[in-house]
């Protein structure tokens, strides 16, 4: 690996400790009457945006946004895939409390009685609520919660919802007969599993113009709604979904052509069956792409290039919405959150998905812009967790926050991003498999698998390749990390919050 490539990968994962400064609460502007805009993209690796240190992936709109927002360099999700991650950060509960830690568990049947989600709390507070595309994992999992939306676009409607017709309509996408491949209705059937594999395990040119893509159309709908909001003057919450860069890794040809696979560096942490924490991934295949084999070196580069193309595509769509926010005069009165719902492995460890407790899954991109906030344009390297999002929104706009929330508002970091904050972050794979990560170490416990536990020194080994759990020199560290994992999230809070 060339030195320039090595430098990139080290920058992308090494999270530095930074000095502490005092929080001055009176410097935050009045945010109680501000609007809130969420932009959520699926399966988004924090190693890809240019402003996160990637020298290849082109994200000019996000890079520009970062100059006016706080970019969180150490933002961590609480679960390994979409349903439990969203169930966590949209309800302010961790997966073992929400009882949702995989994609098959129906959220609204498992949440503790009385749980109120973010849109329900915002609606109660008087916000006009609108969603474009995916928000919770599926409509069926969140029927009650979705009833809190005044407008639902590009998304299924829960039973009993009565809202307006779509604000925009689009011409049907013209596909050749050979390209039509509708999904079987029975999601439990073999035919459906085969259909899903065909439509996930691929990369390259989508065969569509940008304006035919669902993600582009979602951005267009968002622009139309922003125009309406500027006229009605209602305080609004709007969430816009981007399905990329989730598999299939396909994008319009103009974005695929932006990247030469030959110039893509090889992934770090090459797969090793004998030391892999998830050996089935290396020997059999991955859940979303390269399902039945490991890719060839050429396919590796092509797939990463296609992933970058997907990121550049959503960057363009996000830029469209941010520009409209400015055009409609709403930028100075709208709090903007841009985020992924979890990370994604791009060939490191031989993995091509999420579904691990390693850093590539745990860490996701997050930007927050509060108009007038002192920290705008700065980078925060303190630990924040996605379960903190609901408490943060709640503090900023004055929600009546439930007492059982399991996150900590990071609004103070929007004033002073360098003050001392959490000492660790937590993620679960299931009831018996969990991980805690501090600045220096990550410690993983497994309910089943090739080893019961793993310990990694992140300063020496940021890609988590050398398991030190059985190394006598690290016995004390292992014990301390195991105790911290057992003690849980409250033990990692800053001193002032733990009291």
Tens-place pLDDT, residues 343-379: 999 999 999 999 999 999 999 999 999 999 999 999 9
As a whole number of angstroms, the distance between CA 99 and CA 105 comes to: 8
Report pLDDT for 179: 61
Mean per-residue pLDDT, 259-270:
97
Instruction: HSE, CB side, 13 Å, CA atoms: give it for residue 491.
Output: 13
Average pLDDT, the chain: 93
Give me 30's structure tokens: 């009045």
φ/ψ of residue 76, rounded to 5: -130, 135
Helix ranges (H only) for 207-358 are 214-232, 253-256, 279-283, 297-327
Instruction: Specify the number of domains making up the chain.
Output: 1
Residues 167 and 228 sit within 8 Å (Cβ to Cβ): yes
How many CB atoms within 10 Å of residue 230? 16
As a whole number of angstroms, the distance between CA 366 and CA 377 comes to: 13
Residues 236 and 150 sit within 8 Å (Cβ to Cβ): no
One-character DSSP codes across 132-158: ES-SSS-STT-HHHHTT-SEEESS---
**Given a cut of 90, is residue 27 above it in pLDDT?**
no
**Given a cut of 90, is residue 165 above it in pLDDT?**
yes
- pLDDT band (50, 70, 90) for residue 499: low
The answer to whether position 407 is within a domain reads yes
- pLDDT band (50, 70, 90) for residue 156: very high
Match 């929080």 to its residue by tokens: 23
The answer to whether position 481 is within a domain reads no
Report pLDDT for 15: 35
Task: Work out the burial of residue 162: count CB atoms within 10 Å of its CB; fewer than 13 is exposed, 13-18 middle, 19 or more buried.
Answer: exposed
The answer to whether position 461 is within a domain reads no
Report pLDDT for 186: 82
Q: Percent of the chain beyond pLDDT 90? A: 86
pLDDT tens, residue by residue, 397-421? 999 999 999 999 999 999 999 999 9
Strands 366-369, 249-251: pairing is unpaired
The answer to whether position 464 is within a domain reads no
pLDDT tens, residue by residue, 57-75? 999 999 999 999 999 999 9
Give me 166's structure tokens: 């779509």
Give me 69's structure tokens: 């927002």
Report pLDDT for 174: 79
The answer to whether position 357 is within a domain reads yes
**Given a cut of 80, is residue 2 above it in pLDDT?**
no
Report pLDDT for 176: 52
DSSP 388: G
As a whole number of angstroms, the distance between CA 40 and CA 341 comes to: 7
The residue among 74, 57, 56, 65 whose CA lies nearest residue 16 is 74
pLDDT tens, residue by residue, 418-451? 999 999 999 999 999 999 999 999 999 999 999 9
Match 């069956």 to its residue by tokens: 273
Give me 24's structure tokens: 């001055």
Mean per-residue pLDDT, 462-483:
98
The residue among 146, 137, 149 whose CA lies nearest residue 106 is 137
As a whole number of angstroms, the distance between CA 5 and CA 359 comes to: 19
DSSP 376: T
Report pLDDT for 187: 77
CATH of the domain at 106: 3.40.720.10
Give me 171's structure tokens: 């011409």
**Given a cut of 70, is residue 11 above it in pLDDT?**
no
Which residues pair with residue 436 across a beta bridge?
Answer: 426, 443
Which residues pair with residue 385 across a beta bridge?
Answer: 76
Give me 466's structure tokens: 């050398």
As a whole number of angstroms, the distance between CA 398 and CA 33 comes to: 9
Report pLDDT for 180: 67
As a whole number of angstroms, the distance between CA 346 and CA 247 comes to: 12
Residues 10 and 211 sit within 8 Å (Cβ to Cβ): no
H/E element, 11: helix 3-13
**Given a cut of 80, is residue 13 above it in pLDDT?**
no
Mean per-residue pLDDT, 448-469:
97
Residues 238 and 38 sit within 8 Å (Cβ to Cβ): yes
pLDDT tens, residue by residue, 171-180? 999 765 446 6
pLDDT tens, residue by residue, 81-137? 999 999 999 999 999 999 999 999 999 999 999 999 999 999 999 999 999 999 999
Q: Which domain holds residue 386?
A: 3-428
Strands lying side by side in the sheet with 334-340: 151-153, 128-132, 236-242, 35-41, 334-340, 366-369, 70-72, 379-380
The answer to whether position 77 is within a domain reads yes
3-state secondary structure of 204: strand
As a whole number of angstroms, the distance between CA 393 and CA 237 comes to: 11
The answer to whether position 462 is within a domain reads no
Give me 104's structure tokens: 């098959």
The residue with greater pLDDT, 97 or 27, is: 97
The answer to whether position 312 is within a domain reads yes
**Given a cut of 70, is residue 1 above it in pLDDT?**
no
Residues 261 and 326 sit within 8 Å (Cβ to Cβ): no
Report pLDDT for 153: 98
Residues 115 and 93 sit within 8 Å (Cβ to Cβ): yes
The residue with greater pLDDT, 390 or 13, is: 390
**Given a cut of 50, is residue 270 above it in pLDDT?**
yes
As a whole number of angstroms, the distance between CA 84 and CA 78 comes to: 8
**Given a cut of 80, is residue 243 above it in pLDDT?**
yes
Give me 280's structure tokens: 């089935």
Report pLDDT for 107: 97
Report pLDDT for 181: 78
pLDDT tens, residue by residue, 33-56? 999 999 999 999 999 999 999 999
3-state secondary structure of 236: strand
Give me 418's structure tokens: 């360098």
Q: Percent of the chain beyond pLDDT 70? A: 93
């Amino acid at each position: 690996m060339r030195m320039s490539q090595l430098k990139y990968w080290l920058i992308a994962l090494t999270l530095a400790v930074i000095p502490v400064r005092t929080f001055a609460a009176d410097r935050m502007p009045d945010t109680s009457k501000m609007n809130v805009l969420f932009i959520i993209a699926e399966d988004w690796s924090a190693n890809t945006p240019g402003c996160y240190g990637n020298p290849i992936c082109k994200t000019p709109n996000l890079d520009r946004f970062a100059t006016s927002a706080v970019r969180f360099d150490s933002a961590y999700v609480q679960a390994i895939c979409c349903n439990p991650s969203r169930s966590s950060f949209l309800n302010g509960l961790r997966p073992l409390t929400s009882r949702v830690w995989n994609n098959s568990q129906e959220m609204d049947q498992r949440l503790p009685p009385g749980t109120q989600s973010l849109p329900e709390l915002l609606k109660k507070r008087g916000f006009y609520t609108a969603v474009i595309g995916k928000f919770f994992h599926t409509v069926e999992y969140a029927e009650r919660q979705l009833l809190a939306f005044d407008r639902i676009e590009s998304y299924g409607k829960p039973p009993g919802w009565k809202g307006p017709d779509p604000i925009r309509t689009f011409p049907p996408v013209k596909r050749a007969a050979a390209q039509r491949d509708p999904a079987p209705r029975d999601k439990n059937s073999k035919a459906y599993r085969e259909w899903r594999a065909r439509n996930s395990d691929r990369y390259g040119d989508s065969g569509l113009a940008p304006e035919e893509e669902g993600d582009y159309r979602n951005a267009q709908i968002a622009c139309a709604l922003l125009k309406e909001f500027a006229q009605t003057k209602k305080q609004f919450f709007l969430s816009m979904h981007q399905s990329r860069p989730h598999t299939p890794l396909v994008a319009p040809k103009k974005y695929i052509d932006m990247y030469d696979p030959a110039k893509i560096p090889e992934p770090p942490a090459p797969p090793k069956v004998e030391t892999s924490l998830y050996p089935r991934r290396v020997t059999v295949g991955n859940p979303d792409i390269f399902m039945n084999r490991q890719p060839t070196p050429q396919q590796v580069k092509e797939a990463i290039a296609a992933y970058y193309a997907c990121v550049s595509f959503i960057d363009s769509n996000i830029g469209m919405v941010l520009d409209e926010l400015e055009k409609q005069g709403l930028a100075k009165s709208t709090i903007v959150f841009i985020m992924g719902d979890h990370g994604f492995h791009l060939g490191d460890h031989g993995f091509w998905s999420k579904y691990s407790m390693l850093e590539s899954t745990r860490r996701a991109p997050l930007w927050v812009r509060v108009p007038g906030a002192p920290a705008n344009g700065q980078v925060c390297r303190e630990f924040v967790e996605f379960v903190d999002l609901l408490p943060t929104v709640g503090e900023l706009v004055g929600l009546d926050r439930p007492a059982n929330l399991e996150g900590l508002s990071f609004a103070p970091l929007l004033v002073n991003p360098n003050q001392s904050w959490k000492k660790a972050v937590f993620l679960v794979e299931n009831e018996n498999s969990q991980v805690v990560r501090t600045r220096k170490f990550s410690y993983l416990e497994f309910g089943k698998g090739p080893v019961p536990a793993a310990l990694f020194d992140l300063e020496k080994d940021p890609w988590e390749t050398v398991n030190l759990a059985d190394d006598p020199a690290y016995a004390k560290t292992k014990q301390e990390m195991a105790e911290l994992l057992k003690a849980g999230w409250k033990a990692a809070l800053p001193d002032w919050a733990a009291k």
